Amino acid sequence: MFMWFARTFIIILGPIIGYFSVSQGPKGILIGTGAAVLVIFIEWVLEQVPLDDIIAAGMGIVIGLIAVKAMDYIVIVTFSDKAIDIWEQYSLLIKLTASYTGMLIAVKKKGEMYLLDQNLSFTSKRLLPESTTVDSCILIDGRLVDIAKAGFLSRMAVVPRFVINELQTLADSSDDSKRTRGKRGLQTIAFLEKEDSG
Assess whether pLDDT exceeds 50 at residue 126: no
Q: Report pLDDT for 30.
A: 92
Assess whether pLDDT exceeds 80 at residue 20: yes
Nearest CA among 102, 140, 136, 143 for reference residue 118: 136
Q: Report pLDDT for 117.
A: 53
Assess whether pLDDT exceeds 70 at residue 180: yes
Integer Cα distance of 87 and 76 in angstroms:
9
Nearest CA among 104, 103, 99, 75 for reference residue 89: 75
Distances, alpha carbon 90 to alpha carbons 64, 86, 96, in Å? 16, 7, 10
Nearest CA among 66, 74, 75, 59 for reference residue 95: 66
Assess whether pLDDT exceeds 60 at residue 161: yes
Beta bridge partners of 157: 132
Query: Whole-structure pTM over 0.95, yes or no?
Result: no
Assess whether pLDDT exceeds 60 at residue 53: yes
How high does pLDDT run on average in the chain?
Answer: 80
